[in-house]
Amino acid sequence: MIQEALDKRVHTTGIFIDLTKAYDVLNHELLLEKLSSHGIKGTTNSWFRSYLTNRRQFIEINKSDSSNVMVNRYRSSSMEIKQGVPQGLVLGPLLFLLYINDLPLNIHGANLVMFADDNNVLMMDSDVGALQNKINRVTAELEIWFNRNDLVINASKTGVMSFYNRQTSFLVKPQVTFNKKNLDYITELKFLVSI
């Protein structure tokens, strides 16, 4: 996709979104609604409700001496988990994917590349002004979707890149803003994608 745009000398901007505590903040009721819209209803949906609700967690810290013998154990009180999905199991990432599965349906004029909690948005246009307008519209749509789904974009870890070939006479760096904060342009990143 990016290489095709470069071959056609089309301006391309990518937004590489980092979500704050993506798996920890999923709204259980919204997740159950989304599961229902995917056909997971009735008894199966009730099973997921049971799986997500009335879960508790605590923190335990064990202190050992130099011989590796436990000296003290500190344990917090148990607290109910009211949002998020359990991690470390196959089901957590699967539930997250079902939660964000409708994101591409709500974003127009951009290509989304999604892999787990890495969401990448690519926008292209031969005209710089049209590209800026597209970026403004797409970021507004992203803000609405993330806010409606109780997910928070970590603006300090979300990066923007302009893609260009060496023959380009000037580098195009449109302004990209999320929640009234300008995002920083980056020169490199790890791009996770399933092939």
Query: Each residue of 129-174: pLDDT tens digit?
Result: 999 999 999 999 999 999 999 999 888 889 998 877 665 555 678 8
More confidently predicted of 77 and 188: 77
Decide if 52 contacts 44 (C-beta within 8 A): no
| Average of per-residue pLDDT values in the chain | 86
Residue 1 has pLDDT above 80, yes or no: no
pLDDT given for residue 191 in this prediction: 61
pLDDT given for residue 169 in this prediction: 56
pLDDT given for residue 87 in this prediction: 75
pLDDT given for residue 48 in this prediction: 93
3-state secondary structure of 61: strand
* DSSP letter, residue 117: T
Write the secondary structure of 36-74 as one string of H (helix), E (strand) and C (coil). HHCCCCHHHHHHHHHHHCCEEECCEEEEECCCCCEEEEE
Query: Each residue of 24-50: pLDDT tens digit?
Result: 899 999 999 999 999 999 999 999 999
pLDDT given for residue 8 in this prediction: 65
Six token digits for residue 105: 């349906």
Decide if 178 contacts 139 (C-beta within 8 A): yes
Q: What pLDDT band is residue 193 in, cutting at 50, 70 and 90?
A: low
Query: Each residue of 68-127: pLDDT tens digit?
Result: 888 888 888 988 888 888 777 788 888 999 999 999 999 999 999 888 788 899 998 888
Identity of the residue numbered 175:
Q
pLDDT given for residue 16 in this prediction: 92
Reported pTM: 0.81
